[in-house]
Amino acid sequence: LLIVNGTAAIGASALWTGFWLRAGWRIQWPLLLSLLALWLAPIVAMLVLGLPRATHIPFATASVGLGLVSSLWALLGKQGTKNAADYALITWLALALPVSAAAVFIGMSSAGAGAGAGAGANTALVLYAGVAPTLCTGIGLFTLLGFTLDAITDSVELARTDGLTGLLNRRAFDSELGTAVAMAERYQRELSLVIVDVDHFKALNDSYGHPTGDAVLRIVARTLVESARRVDVPARIGGEEFALILADTPSAAALRLAERLRQAIMRSGIDEIS
């Protein structure tokens, strides 16, 4: 009994930990150890003191219920964008909560009935044996789906992002520019495009090496992002060439931004790197 429940408790704890990490939490060691103790301590007491076998059922199901609540809370408060798998996991956890609550109440009535607790204990076991595997299977499948969707999202993001600067790459820039031009033509709005080119970049690379050149590009990219508005679209379109798509921006405003950007780059400390 202790081995079986210990294995189940450790497996459940691993599941809660996975949900917490997925939601951006750190491992909650006090909570995790408390859930393990809530599940296993009554079993040890039962074996030592000779209490009825149904005694541990409400504690075990309460441990599972608290783990479900903590996981549900963590996923509901997940940092960043939730994908379809996150919402599916939230749904499965919410469905598992009433099952766990029912098992707690049945287990409590079984434990309180003393020697006549067999029927109640069997009912609780049947309830958990019948429903829990389905819920766990669904949770497991949706967890795998979540990791798959996350991997796809990461792949799409990598395909659109320049690895050195973190800006959009040329392919993503072309797509964003095409969309911006189409929107400007359709709604008769102004659109500006700023192109930034680092002067004498080849000479800098030849004189100081590529690591220095990479550092300069990262500084330019950071300055571009800091100088742009939140709605603007910065990108790296070539070796030392950058671009900034300015929607709803007349040329005079774009020229002022370009000059402000040039001055910001001059003050960025590039001379100190080189």
Q: Quick one: three-class SS letters along the chain? A: CHHHHHHHHHHHHHHHHHHHHHCCCCCCHHHHHHHHHHHHHHHHHHHHHCCCHHHHHHHHHHHHHHHHHHHHHHHHCCCCCCCHHHHHHHHHHHHHHHHHHHHHHHHHHHHHCHHHHHHHHHHHHHHHHHHHHHHHHHHHHHHHHHHHHHHHHHHHHHHHECCCCCCECHHHHHHHHHHHHHHHHHHCCCEEEEEEECCCHHHHHHHHCHHHHHHHHHHHHHHHHHHCCCCCEEEECCCCEEEEEEECCCHHHHHHHHHHHHHHHHCCCHHHHC
Tell me, what's the pLDDT at 115? 45
Predicted confidence band of residue 99 (pLDDT cuts 50, 70, 90)? confident
Whole-structure pTM value:
0.51
Per-residue model confidence as pLDDT tens digits over 255-274:
999 999 988 888 876 665 54
Predicted confidence band of residue 185 (pLDDT cuts 50, 70, 90)? very high
Highest mean pLDDT among 69-78, 89-98, 115-124: 69-78
Highest mean pLDDT among 83-87, 118-122, 131-135: 83-87
- Report whether 255 contacts 186 (CB < 8 A): no
Tell me, what's the pLDDT at 188? 92
Per-residue model confidence as pLDDT tens digits over 1-12:
788 888 888 888
Per-residue model confidence as pLDDT tens digits over 192-245:
999 999 888 888 888 888 888 899 999 999 999 988 888 899 999 998 999 999
**Which of 257, 115, 265 shows the shortest CA–CA distance to 194?**
257
Rounded CA gap, 97 and 72, in Å?
10
Q: Which residues contact 15 (CB under 8 A, 6 or more apart)?
A: 67, 71, 139
Mean pLDDT value of segment 70-91:
81
